[in-house]
Amino acid sequence: MKKIPDFNNIVNKVDINQQKPLFSRLNKDIPASIVVFLVALPLCLGIALASGAPLLSGLISGIVGGIVIGSISHSSVSVSGPAASLTAVVLASIASLGSFDVFLLAVVLGGIFQFTLGILKAGLIADYMPSNIIKGLLAAIGIILIIAQIPYAMGIAADTADYFDPNKNFFSQVDEAIASFYASLTGGALLITGISLAIMIFWDKTPLKNFKLLPPALVVVLLGVALNVIFQYAVPSLYLEEAHLVNIPNIDSVSELVTFPDFSAITNPEVWGVAITITLIASIASLLAIEAADELDPHKRNTPPNRELVAQGIGNTITGLIGGIPITSVIVRSSVNIAAGAETKLSAILHGIFLLLSVLFLSSILNLIPLSSLAAILLVIGYKLASWDVVSTMFRKGWNQFIPFVVTIVAIILTDLLIGIFIGTLVSIFFLLRSNYHNAFFVENTKIFKGETIRLELSNEVSFFNKASIKNTLWNVPDKSTVIIDATFASYIDQDVLEIFEDFRDTYAREHDINLSIIGLKEKYDLGKDLEFVQEELKDSKKRSTPQDIFDYLKDGNQRYVDGKLVSRRLRNKELMDFINAPPLAAVVNCIDMREPLNVLMNTGIGDLIPIRTAGNLANDHGIKSLEVACQKQGAKFILFMGNSANKIYAQALRDFKEGHDSYLCPLIAEAVEANHITRDLINESNLYEHADVITRWSLVRSRELVIEQSQFLRESIEEGSIGMASGFFNRQNGKIDFSEMHQTSEVINSNG
């Protein structure tokens, strides 16, 4: 027996194989890692300072995030390190626990909890995050980046690591920045920022873009160092002092980097509470960040969320053991990594190695880098994340996508990352529920049965969220109408909805003389013995339908098809015989060239139409006899001759006629060619299908005449009005059927085809 492959293994292999070999893109990964390292360095210091932790703890987290998590994660572009989303938690936790050493124990426990969540496959939460929330998150980060970097881009005096804090009041920070603008503006920083922005913006529009080993961000950093050295000797007034440069502490040995947690506090319940908080926030932030990074990844690779939780858990356990603050996958550094051209996770790993080497050996050199150079890089990245194109694209997707997108942006800017995402998600859920309000069922209002019939076809799952829409629909049906509730395809119906059906049956329907029937109800949705299957009544109702009712039904169905508002006509095998045992509505004669399904074009139910196919559209003796059987024995009350544009059979027959070939197709058009005076000289390839359409329309009219001439039963039935007859011409370009008038008397049939 052939072995069936394990689907889970296949999925895992796909996730792994999406990654390029680790050392296959050195020409892109090495320059990108340098750029990420240069951006990550001040961010690590700034977040540590904002968290009330030792500056070195931020660098430790960056090193572990790059080397450890970068090695374990299956993300090709995500970069991990200390995150701004945890600064408030870290600051408050260190203060409440009373010691940084005790706090490190909470980080270790949080890492263990994260690892456990990954093993338990809790990463599926990432699959349920709406894309508009992810895009709103990215845009908000972009705006925050722009706001945060303006002081450094303009040389406003500030502490090296005093980055924008999303946990503080946004507008007060902007006001402070504006107030100090004129007082502390630095000409050298402005000049370096201007030149750097020009390079970042116009690089890809010049031949320099061909130098793949030299990304523009790296050029900006090197040029910033060079310009500041020139300023020092040539233009001292523009020279940037230490306050405007990167500043990292000097480390003489590795041992100075390490701080161990205080394991004696393991019994402290507050430590466990902090650990759980770190676990939840860090896990959600990481899952959101990898979703955002995958969205930005030009190759659209998919990061396994459970593997990411395992990697983050191991990383946080290690960083807590050696003195680092909590780590998450971070959007800013990931965005920089992608923008710099990274192709594999080697870039993230190398950036961690560079952080370690820089702390140990290169602090004096790195301290020459102007903050304005780094600010220019981040300004461009921020604009790309929050550009007008992003906003306009979301706007074109409709209000249900755009409003949660905007709310997410505003909420993140005014509060913080997680609160903003929570608010945006709530708004998105509101629109989801609003959508479900309208999509619990399909509604069809017809008059093919006696009186007015409203048919509600329930969707696959009908939850309590759909109560209001269903009740509103049922309680507004006209008096003395027929209501059919079709539960055939509902795999789940909430008990609250079932109670609505009971209330409608027992009260409203009885008081308003409404004939209610429910079909397809499963045993587990048992509403009682009074609910009867509707099929017997359908048979009787169809017998009472008039030809005009049926003709209107067919015309309305085609209009729904053209408008894209089809009523679902799904059917399960076990109910098929119940449907086709009911009498048909119409017999339709159409050419075998017409492959389009008739029940879709006219949105009819299963078994409503009897198709009779012929070669061409001209009725023959056998076709007319079939129509007699369909009406006299099957119970059809309407005859429809259907033609279609661009008939390939007629087109080939016309080619044969023009070339003088006596083919088997020529008899199909002989009478029509003569009647319409179509000569060989008039036919060419450019007008071939125009002549075919003329023949099709003529054949439809002639077929109706032949029915009247050759069938006494059909002629008498049509004249007395018990059977209706018409024709329709289906336009393949727009899906519209051009119906003729219905022939009901012995009047001469016109040529409306």
State how far the alpha carbon of 210 is from the alpha carbons of 217, 298, 353, 478, in Å: 15, 18, 28, 71
**Domain of 236?**
26-427
Assess whether pLDDT exceeds 50 at residue 530.
Answer: no
pTM, full prediction = 0.53
Same domain for 533 and 418: no
Over 60: is that where the pLDDT of 745 sits? Answer: no
447 falls within a domain: yes
**Average pLDDT estimate for 598-612:** 85
**Which amino acid, residue 674?**
E
For residues 512 and 625, membership in a common domain is answered with: no
Q: Are residues 488 and 588 in the same domain?
A: no
pLDDT at 135: 80
Q: pLDDT class for 627, splitting at 50, 70, 90?
A: very high
**C-alpha to C-alpha distance for 548 and 568, rounded to whole angstroms:** 24
- The most confident of the ranges 169-178, 295-304, 320-329, 558-567 is 320-329
Query: What is the overall mean pLDDT for the chain?
Result: 80
Q: How far apart are the two ends of the chain, measured CA to CA in Å?
A: 60
> What does the block give as tokens for 19?
């990654």
Judge if 363 and 393 occupy the same domain: yes
Amino acid 539: pLDDT: 52
- Same domain membership, residue 450 and residue 420: no
| Residue 688 covered by a domain | yes
Lowest mean pLDDT among 6-15, 298-307, 449-458: 6-15
Residues facing 462 on adjacent strands: 493
What pairing do the DSSP bridges indicate for beta strands 461-462 and 327-330? Answer: unpaired
Query: How far apart (Å, rounded) are the C-alpha atoms in residues 654 and 671?
Result: 13
Residue range 27-42: mean pLDDT, rounded = 85
Residue 706: predicted pLDDT:
93
Task: Please check the confidence at residue 16 and state whether its pLDDT lies above 60.
Answer: no
Distance CA 730, CA 753 (A): 11
* CATH number of the CATH domain containing 605: 3.40.1050.10
Do 404 and 485 belong to one domain? no
Ranges 28-42, 262-276, 368-382, 532-546: which has the least confidence: 532-546
- 289 within domain boundaries: yes
- For 295-320, write each residue's pLDDT tens digit: 888 887 888 889 999 999 999 999 99
Q: Is the pLDDT of residue 68 over 90?
A: yes
Q: Which of 541, 556, 575 is the last residue of a domain?
A: 541
What pLDDT was estimated at residue 10?
33
Residues making up the annotated binding site are: 591, 593
Q: Are residues 275 and 242 part of one domain?
A: yes
pLDDT in tens, 174-184: 666 566 556 66
* Residue 475 belongs to domain with CATH number: 3.30.750.24
CA distance to 21, 124, 372, 576, per residue, from 450 (Å): 70, 52, 79, 24
Q: How crowded is the C-beta side of 710, counted as CA atoms within 13 Å?
A: 16
Contacts of 322 (CB under 8 A, 6+ apart): 60, 64, 257, 258, 259, 260
Domain-located, residue 572:
no
Residue 588, beta-bridge partner list: 611, 640
- For 543-556, how does the pLDDT look when each residue is reduced to its tens digit (9 = 90+)? 557 898 889 889 98
Domain boundary (398, 427, 456) is at 427
Same domain, residue pair 452 and 598: no
Domain count, the chain: 3
Average pLDDT score over residue span 152-178? 59
Half-sphere exposure at residue 488, Cβ-oriented, CA atoms within 13 angstroms: 22
Among 373, 406, 427, identify where a domain stops: 427
pLDDT digits over 419-439, tens only? 887 898 888 888 776 665 555
Whether 406 and 276 share a structural domain: yes
> Which one-letter DSSP state was computed for residue 619?
-
User: Which one is predicted more confidently, 582 or 421?
Assistant: 421
For residue 576, tell me if it sits in a domain. no
Neighbours of 745 (CB within 10 A): 9
Q: Are residues 390 and 511 in the same domain?
A: no
Which residues does the annotation place in the binding site for Zn(2+)? 591, 593
Residue 67 located in a structural domain? yes
444 with 353, same domain? no
Dist. CA 671–CA 663, nearest whole Å: 15
422 & 444 share domain: no
Which of residues 188 and 129 earns the better pLDDT score?
188
pLDDT at position 353, please?
94
Q: Say what the alpha-carbon torsion angle 683, 687, 692, 697 is, to the nearest 10 degrees.
A: -120
Q: In this model, does residue 441 exceed pLDDT 80?
A: no
**Residue 568: inside a domain:** no
